[in-house]
Structure 1
Amino acid sequence: MLLHLGSIPTLVASSAEAAREIMKTHDLTFGSRPNLTITAILFHGNRDIAFAPSGEYWRQLKTVAKVHLLGHAKVKSYRKIREEELGSMISKLGGSDGTTVDVGSLFVTYINNIVCRVTIGKTYENGLKRKNLLKRFIDAFAGFSVGSYIPWLSWVDQLIGSVENAKRVSKELVDEFLEDVIQEHVAKRKAGGAKDDKGQDFIDILLDVQKQSTAGFTLDRDAIKGVLLDAFGGTESTYASLEWAMSELVRNPGIMKKLQQEATEVAHERSIISEDDLKNMLYLKAVINESFRLHTPVPLLVPRETLQDVKLMGYDVPSRTQVLVNAWAIAKDPAIWDNPTEFRPERFLKSSVNYQGSHFELTPYGAGQRICSGMDFSIAIIELALANLVYKFDFTLPNGMKNEDLDMSEAYGVSVHRKSPLLVRVSPRF
């Protein structure tokens, strides 16, 4: 489908076949990003990985992230932080003593603390919480600029305040807070040298890489901030995915019991399920795949832009066309999925389809060269939390509420999340 959003021609692809053509067959041609006003403000001219246009700068920055920050080995190295924050969340749930708990708020703290400790070496409380900067950044990120699509109506942006809000948040988070944190890291390194590899956060690593910059590419201060902002921006979709998965488990107690049984068998009476155990939890992976399918966190993925004219499935698509892949619609296509509106993890037990970008029926993290760089980081957080929560606790709805009556209404921000809090009563299983 071709839409004209103001002056911007926009192609919407809503089939797995079209998604494959865009993100695999013609991946290079469809590999750039549109220059949108809000992201350009928040990410200092799109100096991050997610929104940088295709080119040598983006390729080099993505390589830095993959090799030094978000590769499989590096994600494993953050294990202790994940386990410590999981332990804190379990303690809070264990101490709830039968009262009603908003588990979503606990998920927010769990994920934000992990991301902040890994990226800047500080928890959410150490600076960011004072001005609620992360929430304001996410809210600004979800803002809309009329002028991006209809330039002569740019004055509307001033009227609704979206651009000014983005500028304020960028100034406070990027120009002030992140700059102070980076300067603090620089000062510590001058005073006592760099930490060893095990103690390094993203900033330490990026400052090391900065010294090794190759000809034609310089990892400058804005690039470092861009990488950090991508990590912060990914917190909401990770939180939303974890909350939707738990919502479906609460709503479907039979599926919850199957997952609890798997968790109990894998744990072998130990107090915690370790990350080494997760590879044996096939039903857990099926539950997460099905949750991604039914609740695609970013329904249209991140917009792409064509670099040149291209013929797509018999149609001529001109250069500079914005492209939206409707991953939400594809994941519910009845031509692909039996009973697509039902939550049925079993559909993935005998299927090779998964979220990792090779199967275009299910692409919650995108696919091809523009697949989300933080996918492994996000999945490690979700799997560890979900496995241990169902192992340690039973979750029921308060006030005698029936499971099938749980409100599953959606609200849209950076990602699709629950409209109402997930309120449950928690009781230890043993």
Structure 2
Amino acid sequence: MLGSFSASDFFPYIGWIFDWFTGLHARRERSVRDLDAFYEQMIDLHLQKNREERSEDDFVDLLLKLEKEEAVLGYGKLTRNHIKAILMNILLGGINTSAITMTWAMAELARNPRVMKKVQSEIREQIGKSKEARVISLDETDKLKYLKMVIKETWRLHPVSPLLVAREVISEFKINGYTIQPKTRLHVNTWGTGRDPQIWKDPEEFIPERFMDRDIEANGQHFELLPFGGGRRICPAMYMGATTVEFGLANLLYQFDWKIPEGVEDIDMDEASGLTSHKKHDLLLVPVKSLDL
């Protein structure tokens, strides 16, 4: 919905009329109510937990403590609405984008059995066998070098935000013979950069090994790979996003082998338009408990 066409964005004074008739305004209001109810339920569960039993505090508990202590946030005190806004940013900006990256990674691995086998072999050799089901810890993911290459290759081919967040020019400057005026809005085409044959050999192929001999990281310092942007306004959840993807993929690939459903010859890689670049159609894979564990 955030990526859908809104007349108000182009005609601020009268566009709302068009949005009203198309039903966009009503859908937005309904989404706001649903999300607000969801966050209220989440907060109530944490308050109930604190009353009934004491356990290790999570992020929501810390926010509720700050609210109770009337902590100052910017120019005012932290309120319940502030907490909901923070949770909204985490849900939409952190969790959803990580899920999109994991989906693209699993899709590429399913289409490339060689890479799938190699990354699973690394994970299972480094972590070791276990008679009982276990979860790979975050510390253990540091040893999984090839998995990190798989993730970087996924970011290269399928950046979650293909045009990043728009930037606005502060002062006039010239580049390649063009004069860029102040107030100009700039977009960085990371999707195009990731598929540029002048930068990458065989850019349309999923080859994680390309990062073996190239010191390129997704930390905003190498412009060839900018899944989180760069500069002072780089994504503040960069480390959270990268860690979430590593942790999720490591456990999925450690515990299970993954197969394409019977009758499906190949996985479509069509992209859906919007603020984020996700798969147009849901990814369907069949998990099979690994016999090697």
TM-score of the aligned structures, taking structure 2 as reference length: 0.84
Q: Which runs of 5+ in 1 are unaligned?
A: 1-139
Match for residue 191 of structure 2? 328
Q: Which runs of 5+ in 2 are unaligned?
A: none
- Paired letter, 2:8: G
Select 1:380's aligned residue among 243, 248, 256: 243
Match for residue 164 of structure 1? 26
Select 1:209's aligned residue among 45, 66, 71: 66
- Paired letter, 2:270: S
Distance of aligned partners of 1:159 and 1:386 in 2 relative to their CA distance in 1, 3 Å threshold:
same
TM-score of the aligned structures, taking structure 1 as reference length: 0.59
> How far off is 1:183 after superposition?
6.6
Select 1:249's aligned residue among 96, 109, 115: 109
User: What is the rounded CA distance, in whole Å, between the counterparts of 1:261 and 1:215 in structure 2?
Assistant: 49
Distance of aligned partners of 1:173 and 1:426 in 2 relative to their CA distance in 1, 3 Å threshold:
closer
User: What is the rounded CA distance, in whole Å, between the counterparts of 1:264 and 1:183 in structure 2?
Assistant: 40
Distance of aligned partners of 1:392 and 1:181 in 2 relative to their CA distance in 1, 3 Å threshold:
closer
> How far off is 1:347 after superposition?
0.6
Q: Secondary structure at the match of 1:426?
A: strand
Distance of aligned partners of 1:188 and 1:268 in 2 relative to their CA distance in 1, 3 Å threshold:
closer
What pairs up with 1:80-91 in 2 under 5 angstroms? Answer: none
Distance of aligned partners of 1:398 and 1:186 in 2 relative to their CA distance in 1, 3 Å threshold:
closer
User: What is the rounded CA distance, in whole Å, between the counterparts of 1:184 and 1:257 in structure 2?
Assistant: 41
Q: Deviations over 1:148-195 (max 9, x none)?
A: 123355022222222332123223423x44356547766887x68x96
Q: Which one has the bigger helix percentage? A: 1
2:261 equivalent to 1:398: yes
User: What is the rounded CA distance, in whole Å, between the counterparts of 1:396 and 1:418 in structure 2?
Assistant: 18
What pairs up with 1:217-256 in 2 under 5 angstroms? Answer: 217-234=76-93, 235-256=95-116
Match for residue 309 of structure 1? 171
- Paired letter, 2:209: E
User: What is the rounded CA distance, in whole Å, between the counterparts of 1:389 and 1:183 in structure 2?
Assistant: 31
The answer as to whether partners of 1:240 and 1:417 remain within 8 angstroms in 2 is yes
The answer as to whether partners of 1:396 and 1:426 remain within 8 angstroms in 2 is yes
Root-mean-square deviation over aligned CA pairs: 2.7
2:209 equivalent to 1:364: no
- Higher RCO (Cα < 8 Å, 6 or more apart): 1
The answer as to whether partners of 1:282 and 1:349 remain within 8 angstroms in 2 is no
User: What is the rounded CA distance, in whole Å, between the counterparts of 1:349 and 1:167 in structure 2?
Assistant: 48
- Paired letter, 1:230: N
What pairs up with 1:26-425 in 2 under 5 angstroms? Answer: 140-151=1-12, 153-154=14-15, 155-174=17-36, 176-179=37-40, 181-182=42-43, 198-202=56-60, 204-210=61-67, 211-213=70-72, 216-234=75-93, 235-270=95-130, 272=134, 273-306=136-169, 308-311=170-173, 313=175, 315-399=178-262, 401-402=264-265, 405-425=266-286
User: What is the rounded CA distance, in whole Å, between the counterparts of 1:214 and 1:146 in structure 2?
Assistant: 34
Match for residue 44 of structure 1? none
Q: Secondary structure at the match of 1:151?
A: coil
